[in-house]
Structure 1
Amino acid sequence: MQEPFVLSNLTRVSGEAIDIVINNDRIAEITPAGSGQGKQVIDCSGTYVSSGWIDLHVHAFADFDPYGDEIDEIGIKQGVTTLVDAGSCGADSIAELATQGQQALTNLFAFLNISRLGLKRIDELSNLEWIDSNEAVRAIHEHKDFIIGLKARISKSVVGASGIEPLRIARKLSDETSLPLMVHIGSGPPSIEDIVTLLEPKDVITHYLNGKKNNLFNDQDQPLQVLVEAIARGVHLDVGHGTASFSFKVAEAAKQHGIVLNTISTDIYRGNRLNGPVYSMSHVLSKFLYLGYPLEEIISAVTINAANWLNKPELGRIEAGDVANLTLFTVRNDPITFVDSEGDKREGKMSIAAKGVVVNGQFIEC
């Protein structure tokens, strides 16, 4: 059995100073700062703590290029305790991804790509024969605790001449399996109006802050009516920064018009981790500090909000008795240059830096 240890002098984003005592894989006790008892006491003065960060959109199947990476490289090493692979794998390869997830320290779930090929090709929905609903249903039944939704990349370069039909198939498959859709939006056709009108409560629009012509805001930077209606009926908005899907201009318009920040995700893979503009979850979160969002709202977007969408509220809280999944981080007051997916540079004054995680009771420094 693991000896109890104490993370001492932590600060919640609310400002409360606490100690967290961890015994085996669980939070044994939360006490006032400096009062926790354990064989090992780790001083965390000057460090914030939240429930473990959740990244709702990553590409964690290292075998695929260019959209792939090692699970723990984009997970615990970045302060992220739970990853959700966003459709790297279809029915042909989802079992292999599930096995890799079991071998990693980072918790992993997945959206199943409706194309059985997944991202083995990057035009995976251009041939409707690659969408095999029977195989998808089989995979979902075999991996029901791993697959949390369906992924459809509905942009011109992916669907080709198939147009909106892959999304109609995805909608039918979603209804049949009771799994929500995550829909990638980008260049059209199909038009953004045709895409969004097919989405239902709990479905996810990822890349909603992209700056492409087929985006969710008009030329006056106002939200399209189809976006307003989608939010009203419970469609979930996910950042999905990625290499080509985050615009400061669009993000500023969204904030100006009060578009609620649901989840912040990275759409990270090896290329944009090493070469930018993503780099890390911390770096993406720091862009929202620059945009003027309060720290508590930013952290909620990768903890409480993401956990609730996953129907796993325990992942978004810090309570005695729960499995210990925590992220430790600091906020630095140093000049930093941010670059969006359009090449637009902004000069910030603060940045978030991950310092460590506790994942399933194990403390790991970042």
Structure 2
Amino acid sequence: MTGRFVLQNVKTINGIAVDIILENGKIIEIVPPGTGIGDKIIDYKQKVFVSSGWIDLHVHAFPELDPYGDDVDEIGYKTGVTTVIDAGSTGADQISDLVSSYKNSKTNVFAFLNISRIGLKRIDELSDTSWLDEKELKKAISQYGDFIVGLKARISKSVVGPNGIEPLKIARKFSADTGLPLMVHIGSGPPDIREVLNLLEQQDIITHYLNGKANNLFDEKGEPLPEFNKAIERGVHLDVGHGTASFSFPTAEVAKKRDIRFNTISTDIYRGNRLNGPVYSMANVLTKFLYLGYPLKEVIDAVTVNAAVWLRKPELGRISVGDIGNLTLFSIEDESTLLQDSEGEKRMAEKRVVVKGVVINGEFNEC
């Protein structure tokens, strides 16, 4: 649906009812509930929330990759997510193919460039340092600078092989030379997580920070590692990155108890964990954080305001007259829902997030 239309009787995250009027792709008015005038009126009867469009900071949306690939609209606007950031599916060798694959997509897309030129063609892409080619990396950035928002380094044992911490040291140099921050995947060691933390700087992202692996961010007593606290103090950004193997309910419960809170909630979604779980969708992941006891506003800010600020695109995280319409419409339903983490742990939630619709670049779609 395009033209002039009204999202009538929707609630903001603060519980205020409004009508939002859109025309020619833009928000043109925000008026009291029931007063909006348009060619088409969609009345939500104050049962549906509206937020700025959800942003998923960690997805894998290069459709030709297996297993870590998917079609962008299947994990994007069809699930209420208006902007996705591909988290290093491709390096310099295939970044042009990644860009081309989105030409006919509706969802807004950006990407982290894998520091390995081969990207996820192999899952040990940092096991050979000759693939860490700064010349080719800089060439890719010069060609696709508007698309690339940062650099991705997967620093876990299965990826780095015998190279330990060395790929992250090289990534740190790439970051300094290009001015782009790092998103660092953490997982099984070696390298030891302390070595990883000591190399991270302000604006860098730790993704998978709630994983339950032995090499995680908390000690045996559940206290955050000193190096972890120092990284947070330096302004390192904490991202969930749920994924197939990287979200643990026990770790998340420890983090909440210790007040180690997320900056952004992301899915690390791709075809396998979308269809077969445990991710399924952004709404399912957000439901887990409501179950954990986080306020709705904090959960939604993590996929709107906070993500937009990190991207330095504040317009993506607000609902303002004059902006292009990117909005997510959702409800909180009183329904018992069985939730599962990445390690098979299960929890029963009494409420769940249900996406009702999305406005993507001014066009309304039901979900």
TM-score tier by shorter-chain length is over 0.9
In the alignment, what sits opposite 2:111? Answer: 110
1:73-110 per-residue CA deviation (whole Å, 9 max, x = no partner) reads: 00001100000000000001111111222321000000
Does the aligned pair in 1 maintain the 2:2–2:362 contact within 8 Å?
Answer: no
1:183-216 per-residue CA deviation (whole Å, 9 max, x = no partner) reads: 0000000000000100000000000000000000
% identical aligned pairs: 63
State the TM-score, normalized to the length of structure 1: 0.99
Matched, 1:59 2:92: no
Q: CA deviation at 1:261?
A: 2.0
Does the aligned pair in 1 maintain the 2:2–2:363 contact within 8 Å?
Answer: no
In the alignment, what sits opposite 2:163? Answer: 162
Does the aligned pair in 1 maintain the 2:274–2:281 contact within 8 Å?
Answer: yes
Distance across 1 between alignment mates of 2:250 and 2:2: 49
- Three-state SS of the structure 2 residue aligned to 1:61 is coil
1:18-50 per-residue CA deviation (whole Å, 9 max, x = no partner) reads: 100001111000011111111111112211100
Distance across 1 between alignment mates of 2:203 and 2:61: 23
Distance across 2 between alignment mates of 1:103 and 1:117: 25
Q: CA deviation at 1:130?
A: 1.1
Amino acid at match of 2:348: E
Distance across 1 between alignment mates of 2:86 and 2:196: 22
Alignment of 1:1-366 (within 5 A): 2-45=2-45, 46-366=47-367
Distance across 2 between alignment mates of 1:355 and 1:111: 29
Distance across 2 between alignment mates of 1:354 and 1:56: 18
Distance across 1 between alignment mates of 2:234 and 2:218: 18
Distance across 2 between alignment mates of 1:49 and 1:243: 29
Amino acid at match of 2:21: V
Amino acid at match of 1:141: S
- Three-state SS of the structure 1 residue aligned to 2:101 is helix
Q: CA deviation at 1:222?
A: 1.1
Does the aligned pair in 1 maintain the 2:7–2:41 contact within 8 Å?
Answer: yes
1:312-350 per-residue CA deviation (whole Å, 9 max, x = no partner) reads: 000000010011100000101011111111111111100
Distance across 1 between alignment mates of 2:259 and 2:2: 47
Aligned length: 366
1:276-301 per-residue CA deviation (whole Å, 9 max, x = no partner) reads: 00000000000001000000100000
Amino acid at match of 2:239: D
Distance across 2 between alignment mates of 1:207 and 1:102: 30
- Three-state SS of the structure 1 residue aligned to 2:288 is helix
Amino acid at match of 1:109: F
Distance across 2 between alignment mates of 1:216 and 1:58: 22
Distance across 2 between alignment mates of 1:138 and 1:111: 15
Unaligned runs of 5+ in 1: none
- Three-state SS of the structure 2 residue aligned to 1:364 is strand
Distance across 2 between alignment mates of 1:101 and 1:238: 25
- Three-state SS of the structure 2 residue aligned to 1:14 is coil
Distance across 2 between alignment mates of 1:275 and 1:319: 37
1:206-229 per-residue CA deviation (whole Å, 9 max, x = no partner) reads: 000000000001111111111111
Unaligned runs of 5+ in 2: none
Distance across 2 between alignment mates of 1:197 and 1:103: 42
Distance across 1 between alignment mates of 2:151 and 2:301: 24
Amino acid at match of 1:37: I
- Three-state SS of the structure 2 residue aligned to 1:85 is strand
